[in-house]
Amino acid sequence: MARPPSQTAERRAIARLLRERGIGRHALFLTQREGAALPGGLEAVSGFVLDPRGRVHGFWLAWDDDRRALTLAPFYPVEDAEATFMDDAEYQAARRALGLS
């Protein structure tokens, strides 16, 4: 099983990029390192983010060559997240962390 990113540079970068998208408080779940090196000694990370309104987005921490900056690409809404992740322990923990359960 892939180890999720800890409170390291990857998580800080993801949090900053989420804030740029208007998502402050959040909980990540089902994250995994992807084995691709990014500038600054970071590693690509994929996963899902839950916001305080209960919305879920999938993301991939990546590098944008044109902008020469980290990005979340792809970044996409997950429709019917409750049904999709209902039985997932990490999703349920994320909901509890945000006071949604």
Q: What is the pLDDT of residues 32-61, one digit of tens each?
A: 999 999 999 999 999 999 999 999 999 999
Structure tokens at 3: 């180890």
**What's the confidence (pLDDT) of residue 8?**
85
3-state helix, strand, coil in the chain (%, to 5): 30, 40, 35
Mean pLDDT of 53-80: 97
Name the pLDDT band for 83 (thresholds 50, 70, 90): very high
Percent of the chain with pLDDT over 70: 93
Looking at per-residue pLDDT, the higher value among 71 and 4 belongs to 71
pLDDT at position 5 over 90? no
Those residues with Cβ within 8 angstroms of residue 100's Cβ, 6 or more apart along the chain or in another chain: 50, 52, 54
Task: Please report, for the chain, the start and end positions of each structural domain, with discontinuous segments joined by +.
Answer: 15-76
pLDDT at position 74 over 80? yes
Name the pLDDT band for 101 (thresholds 50, 70, 90): confident
